[in-house]
Amino acid sequence: PDIRFVPKLKVNLVQKLLLFPLFGLTSLPIKILALAKGVRYNRFLTESDGLQLENVSKLVEEGKIKPVVDKVNPLKDYKAAFDYLKSNRVKGKLVLNEIK
């Protein structure tokens, strides 16, 4: 994580101020390497949002949005599913399903 992550932490102001330099330094080597190669580095970090997930689930249940599912594989075939994912041919979601 980088300094853009600090404001989202559930800590007090003093702790946030102490964490800013730390988080800035952790991504510094990556930023320097990116700069040397003529590219830009941005972190991508997904964050859990229970309310958003609940809203999306309702939309799916109501049929207002339909996720595109490419394949459903049994969990035991996870290696083949991962190979397929690495092939860059997946069009939509790749689902691993464990039915007992």
Q: What is the pLDDT along the chain (100 residues), one digit of tens a residue?
A: 666 777 777 788 888 777 777 777 777 888 889 999 999 887 766 677 788 889 999 999 999 999 999 999 999 999 999 999 999 999 999 999 987 6
Q: Are 98 and 77 in contact (CB under 8 A)?
A: no
DSSP letter string over 12-39?
A: -HHHHHHHHHHHHHHTHHHHHHHHHTT-
Please list, in sequence order, all residues whose beta carbon lies within 8 angstroms of the beta carbon of residue 94, skipping any fewer than 6 positions away.
Answer: 70, 71, 73, 81, 84, 85
- pLDDT score, position 36: 94
| Residue 33 structure tokens | 């390497």
Question: Residue 94's pLDDT is what?
Answer: 94
Phi, psi of 97 (to 5 degrees): -125, 130
The answer to whether the beta carbons of residues 43 and 1 sit under 8 Å apart is yes
pLDDT of residue 57: 93
pLDDT at 58: 95
